[in-house]
């Protein structure tokens, strides 16, 4: 099939590449010439496991091409997939200007039937706006050409985006017309594997499904974070509670990890946007307001813990921080809890040395030279009073604890991701303060002979 992808951001680039991988002829459009130049020169603007190899293979095979030409892009694909950004407006609602502009371009230049697929996360009712924009452009030039608009929200997770696209657990399609539904079935046939993954529904339900999924997941996290704080007060361990409730199949184990708050490009933005949508229709989503509030507070939880050990005045204190990205396997710093935590430490007079396996360059864009950047986890510990863990990268899971104890001025680990066993930490002579588990004091170490 001939497919055009409009927007080569996270969703666009991954979708286009994966669709090329199964044999389609894909042309990706972006209006940013720098991005297209980078892609044409073999560079990948984002870090995503497996993506490099896939882009190179498909580009070399001529199935994946990149352009800045709107005319060429509209002429190319029978399927026009809109995957442009929908950044939050000042009031928190999604800014649809790029989506509508893409629709207008399609209407302005199309000369044959087009199936327009809304892939961007867009509020309920957007497909209607896209349809209206295309119809208006067609009317302006007196053209009478058929087209369909469907909603096909993307559920991919950063760090696992290629895998999520290639092996989806579901493919949601909102379609009100049969021709479009048939084409969507053909498009996704290669990704169906052993059973039907396509869930076809009306357009509005599909649009709402995307927000509902992210809001539900964010709610689980905030709920667990709130319970974690209660567990600490009560002397319970949230990790044990998590296992205890996760074993109920109605609850399940996923997305029950208490931590230092959710971040990223989706949850914060989508939770706010869904509330805005409700407000626009005279409703209030009370649960989501609390989800947001709890999350903002949770990002400060590690600061509470630092203050517990070092007092409010952190002048002259130096902290090692492991993990800057909002989650592992990405260099994405958008809404990353590390930013809030670092800013609060600096405001209180402390200094920070951070280590992240890949997000350092991105972090520099936000933090500049306000902190030091180490090139290994151990190098970050140099001269530090304590270690804070913010992102659960795999390399942090089994470090040399004896060395950590020796390097830190006070052997304290404040863990925002609950990576370690408190009993082992105590044995190792490290005081361990984790989310929802309270403080486990270090056991006195035998003097070395």
- Binding interface with ligand UDX (CB under 6 A): 154-158, 214, 217, 221, 255-257, 259, 262-264, 266-267, 326-327
CB of 174 to ligand UDX, least distance (A): 16
CA distance 38 to 40: 6
Which residues 6+ apart lie within 8 Å of 97 measured at CB? Answer: none
Query: CB 301 → ligand UDX: shortest distance, Å?
Result: 11
Nearest approach, Cβ of 37 to ligand UDX (angstroms)? 27
Tokens of 165: 């696209």
Nearer CB in complex with ligand UDX: 50/429: 50
Residue 249 has φ and ψ, to the nearest 5°, of -60, -20
For ligand UDX, give the closer residue by CB, 76 or 327.
327
Cα(267)–Cα(392) distance, integer angstroms = 18
User: With respect to ligand UDX, which residue has the nearer C-beta, 74 or 156?
Assistant: 156
Helical ranges in 22-125 per DSSP H: 33-40, 51-60, 70-76, 97-109
List residues bridging with 183 in a β-sheet.
none
Q: Which of 18, 28, 260, 266 is catalytic?
A: 266
Quick one: 66 or 355, whose CB is closer to ligand UDX? 355
The pair of structure tokens assigned to 349 is 């007079």
Radius of gyration of the chain (CA): 24
Give Cα separations from 65 to 25, 222, 243, 392, 408 (angstroms). Answer: 8, 41, 47, 36, 51
Of 292, 346, 357, 288, nearest in space to 322 by CA = 357
260 is known as an active-site residue: no
Q: What is the DSSP letter of 61?
A: T
CB of 252 to ligand UDX, least distance (A): 11
Residue in 403, 343, 414 with CA at minimum distance from that of residue 379: 403
Q: Smallest distance from the beta carbon of 156 to ligand UDX, in angstroms?
A: 5
Q: How far from 317 is each of 157, 266, 299, 338, 351, CA to CA, in Å?
A: 36, 34, 20, 18, 6
Tokens of 5: 């992808």
Nearest Cα to Cα of residue 372 among 401, 345, 394: 345
Report the residue number, 155 or 191, with the smaller CB distance to ligand UDX. Answer: 155
Ramachandran assignment for 441, one of left (phi > 0), alpha (psi -120 to 50 degrees), beta (any other) = beta
Cβ at position 244, least distance to ligand UDX in Å: 15
Closest distance of CB 122 from ligand UDX, Å: 13
* N-term to C-term CA, the chain: 73
Taking the complex as a whole, the smallest distance from the CB of residue 332 to ligand UDX amounts, in Å, to: 8
Triad 146, 151, 155: Cα angle to 5° = 150
Q: Which is nearer to ligand UDX, 93 or 329 (CB)?
A: 329
Q: Considering beta carbons, is residue 204 or 220 the nearer one to ligand UDX?
A: 220
In terms of Cβ atoms closer than 10 Å to its own Cβ (0-12, 13-18, 19+), residue 5 is buried
Nearer to ligand UDX, 134 or 291 (CB): 291
CB burial of residue 397 (10 Å; 0-12, 13-18, 19+): exposed
Neighbours of 379 (CB within 10 A): 14
User: What does the alpha-carbon distance between residue 434 and residue 431 come to, in Å, rounded to a whole number?
Assistant: 10
Active site residues: 266
């Amino acid at each position: 099939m001939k497919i055009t992808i409009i927007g080569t951001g996270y969703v666009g680039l991954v979708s286009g590449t994966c669709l090329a991988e199964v044999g389609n002829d894909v042309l990706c459009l972006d209006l940013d010439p720098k991005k297209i130049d980078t892609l044409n020169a073999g560079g990948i603007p984002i870090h995503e496991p497996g993506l490099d190899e896939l882009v190179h293979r498909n580009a070399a095979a001529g199935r994946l091409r990149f352009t800045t030409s709107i005319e060429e892009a509209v002429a190319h694909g029978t399927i026009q997939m809109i995957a442009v950004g929908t950044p939050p407006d000042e009031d928190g609602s999604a800014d649809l200007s790029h989506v509508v502009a893409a629709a207008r371009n399609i209407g302005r230049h199309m000369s044959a039937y087009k199936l327009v697929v809304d892939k961007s996360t867009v509020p309920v009712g957007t497909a209607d706006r896209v349809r209206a924009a295309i119809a208006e452009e067609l009317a302006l030039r007196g053209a009478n050409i058929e087209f369909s608009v469907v909603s096909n929200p993307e559920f991919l997770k950063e760090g696992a985006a290629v895998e999520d696209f290639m092996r989806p657990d579901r493919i949601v399609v909102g379609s009100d017309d049969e021709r479009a539904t048939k084409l969507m079935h053909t498009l996704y046939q290669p990704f169906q594997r052993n059973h039907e993954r396509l869930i076809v529904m009306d357009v509005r339900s599909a649009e709402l499904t995307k927000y509902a999924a992210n809001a539900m997941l964010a709610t689980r996290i905030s709920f667990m974070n709130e319970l974690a704080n209660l567990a600490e007060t009560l002397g319970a361990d949230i990790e044990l509670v998590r296992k205890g409730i996760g074993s109920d199949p109605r609850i399940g184990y996923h997305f029950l990890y208490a931590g230092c708050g959710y971040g990223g490009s989706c949850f914060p933005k989508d939770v706010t946007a869904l509330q805005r949508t409700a407000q626009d229709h005279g409703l209030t989503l009370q649960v989501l307001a609390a989800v947001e509030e709890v999350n903002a507070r949770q990002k400060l939880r590690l600061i509470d813990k630092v203050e517990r050990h070092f007092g409010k005045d952190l002048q002259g204190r130096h902290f090692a921080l492991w993990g800057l990205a909002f989650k592992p396997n990405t260099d994405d710093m958008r809404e990353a809890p590390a930013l809030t935590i670092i800013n609060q430490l600096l405001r209180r007079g402390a200094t920070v040395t951070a280590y992240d396996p890949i997000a350092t360059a991105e972090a520099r864009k936000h933090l500049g030279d306000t902190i030091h950047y180490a090139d290994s986890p151990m190098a970050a510990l140099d001269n530090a009073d304590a270690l804070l863990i913010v992102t659960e990268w795999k390399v942090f899971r089994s470090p040399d604890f004896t060395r950590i104890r020796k390097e830190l001025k006070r052997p304290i680990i404040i863990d925002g991701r609950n990576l370690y066993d408190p009993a082992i930490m105590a044995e190792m002579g490290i005081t361990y303060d984790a989310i929802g588990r309270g403080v486990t004091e270090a056991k006195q170490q035998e003097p070395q002979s």
